[in-house]
């Protein structure tokens, strides 16, 4: 070292060189991970000291209370600027043996259908792992069962294993051991079996997404123990039974999605207590009950989707109080009665679908409302509905005709409305109506022709 160099700088450089050194065993583990995943064949030779010259996707830090050595704390593969994965990339189990790893991401990494790789975790004890965030997402060639060893990663706060269509099996019953979990996303896989009852032990959970799997059985009754939960998405599974009454205990919920299941029965009592709820998505369940008026008290609700679920009876007038509502989908049900006038005062709504029900009476929407929603308004498939304002019927394109003086529906104008919506279907009844209206003036012309010879000025 240069004798003229100030002592403070020399000490700093000496400390830096010590801190930059990696434990040889940890460095070799990192090399093995890169060999299994990275598309860069020269990585080992070009980066002999990875933590000494970090690159995108790699972060290193010293252990707490120490300046040396540096440890790998974050690895991120698959999406630029992070290292890309090679065509034959294989999931490296040894990555979870890195002693100070806190965050691990494999996103769009295992994509080659000719190189399917198994999601396998090491059999060694992982309870001392420091891993806090694990994200394995959008890997269509990743296969295998959901690893039971996951429950040993006791420091996990965020667990995302999503959009890996070949990942199957059941959610480990021991999932409740991950007491530090805040977000759990196992959506878009091929998981089966029940929703584990022990999931209710994750008291700090804020987000739970198990959607788009093949989970079956009931929703656990203790789901209501997750008092911090803000997002619950169990949609597109094979769940059956009723919605547990304990769901009403989830007062922090902002997003609730249970659509495309086999759920039935009544809404839980006390559902009106979910004051923070903004999205309620429950399409396509065989509920077969009247719509509860209590939903009208959810003042923050922005989207209410209840299509295709056999709801009967009238649309509750209380729905007109949902001032924050932007989307209301009630199509393909068995609803009857008139459209509540209060819906016309929902100034934020831009998507309204009430089609294919048994609604009747005059539509309570004026021309300004119809023009504002345009094609986002669908009232078709309700034979009893009509519009009082004849001037807007032809331009509305919503599948509804004009009312007669007595409140009935004018068949010819209804036909024009359907035509403007390009529905392309003319029923026999509407064809007969068309003939009736056409024959009237023809008869008048014929009678005039008969009397023409007796009046030369006619």
CATH of the domain at 218: 3.80.10.10
Q: What are phi and psi of 70, to 5 degrees?
A: -80, 145
Whether the Cβ atoms of residue 203 and residue 225 lie closer than 8 Å to each other? yes
What is the model's pLDDT at position 20?
A: 52
pTM: 0.83
What does DSSP say about strands 401-402 and 384-387: parallel, antiparallel, or unpaired? parallel
Closest by Cα among 333, 387, 377, 379 to 355 = 379
Q: Is residue 394 part of a domain?
A: yes
What distance in Å separates the CA atoms of residue 107 and residue 95, rounded to the nearest whole number? 15
What is the model's pLDDT at position 221?
A: 95
Q: Is residue 299 part of a domain?
A: yes
Q: Is residue 296 part of a domain?
A: yes
Structural domain that includes position 41: 11-440
What is the model's pLDDT at position 393?
A: 61
The residue length of the chain stands at 458
Query: 49-91, pLDDT tens digit by residue?
Result: 888 877 789 999 988 777 678 999 999 998 888 888 999 999 9
What is the model's pLDDT at position 396?
A: 61
What is the model's pLDDT at position 394?
A: 61
What is the phi-psi region of residue 17: left when phi exceeds 0, alpha when psi lies from -120 to 50, beta otherwise? alpha
200-202-205 Cα angle (round to 5): 110
Query: 397-435, pLDDT tens digit by residue?
Result: 777 888 876 445 544 333 333 333 333 333 333 333 333
66-71-72 Cα angle (round to 5): 150
Q: Is residue 355 part of a domain?
A: yes
Q: Is residue 456 part of a domain?
A: no
Domain count, the chain: 1
What is the model's pLDDT at position 80?
A: 85
Query: 57-68, pLDDT tens digit by residue?
Result: 999 998 877 767
What distance in Å separates the CA atoms of residue 400 and residue 387, rounded to the nearest whole number? 7
Q: Is residue 171 part of a domain?
A: yes
- Low-confidence residues of the chain: pLDDT under 70: 1-20, 67, 390-396, 405-458
Q: Is residue 283 part of a domain?
A: yes
Q: Is residue 448 part of a domain?
A: no
Residue ranges of alpha helices (H) inside 273-425 are: 367-373, 390-396, 411-420
């Amino acid at each position: 070292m240069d004798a003229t160099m100030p002592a403070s700088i020399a000490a700093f450089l000496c400390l830096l060189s010590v801190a930059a050194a990696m434990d040889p065993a940890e460095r070799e583990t990192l090399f093995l991970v890169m060999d299994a995943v990275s598309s860069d064949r020269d990585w080992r030779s070009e980066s002999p000291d990875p933590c000494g010259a970090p690159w995108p996707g790699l972060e290193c830090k010293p252990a707490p209370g120490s300046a040396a050595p540096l440890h790998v704390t974050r690895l991120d593969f698959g999406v630029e600027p992070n290292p890309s994965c090679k065509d034959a990339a294989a999931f490296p189990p040894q990555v979870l043996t890195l002693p100070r790893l806190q965050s691990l991401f494999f996103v769009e990494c295992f994509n080659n259908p000719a190189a399917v790789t198994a999601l396998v975790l090491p059999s060694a004890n992982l309870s001392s792992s420091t891993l806090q965030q694990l994200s394995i997402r959008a890997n269509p060639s990743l296969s295998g069962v959901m690893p039971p060893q996951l429950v040993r990663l006791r420091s996990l706060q965020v667990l995302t294993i999503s959009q890996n269509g070949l990942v199957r099996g059941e959610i480990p019953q021991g999932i409740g051991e991950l007491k530090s979990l805040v977000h759990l996303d196992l959506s878009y896989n091929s998981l089966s079996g029940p929703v584990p009852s022990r999931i209710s032990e994750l008291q700090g959970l804020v987000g739970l997404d198990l959607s788009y799997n093949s989970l079956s059985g009931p929703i656990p009754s203790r789901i209501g123990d997750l008092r911090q939960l803000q997002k619950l998405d169990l949609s597109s599974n094979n769940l059956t039974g009723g919605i547990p009454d304990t769901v009403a205990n989830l007062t922090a919920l902002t997003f609730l999605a249970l659509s495309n299941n086999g759920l039935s029965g009544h809404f839980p009592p006390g559902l009106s207590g979910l004051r923070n709820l903004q999205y309620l998505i429950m399409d396509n369940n065989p509920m077969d009950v009247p719509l509860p008026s209590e939903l009208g008290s959810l003042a923050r609700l922005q989207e209410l989707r209840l299509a295709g679920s056999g709801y009967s009876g009238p649309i509750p007038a209380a729905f007109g109080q949902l001032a924050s509502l932007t989307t209301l989908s009630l199509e393909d049900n068995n609803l009857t009665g008139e459209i509540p006038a209060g819906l016309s005062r929902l100034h934020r709504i831009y998507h309204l679908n009430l089609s294919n029900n048994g609604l009747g009476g005059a539509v309570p929407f004026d021309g300004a409302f119809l023009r504002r929603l345009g094609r986002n308004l669908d009232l078709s498939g309700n034979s009893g509905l009509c519009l009082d304002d004849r001037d807007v019927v032809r331009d509305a394109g919503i599948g509804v005709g004009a009312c007669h003086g007595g409140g009935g529906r004018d068949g010819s104008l209804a036909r024009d409305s359907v035509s403007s919506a390009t529905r392309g279907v003319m029923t026999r009844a509407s064809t007969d109506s068309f003939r009736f209206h056409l024959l009237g003036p023809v008869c008048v012309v014929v009678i005039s022709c008969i009397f023409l010879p007796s009046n030369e000025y006619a």
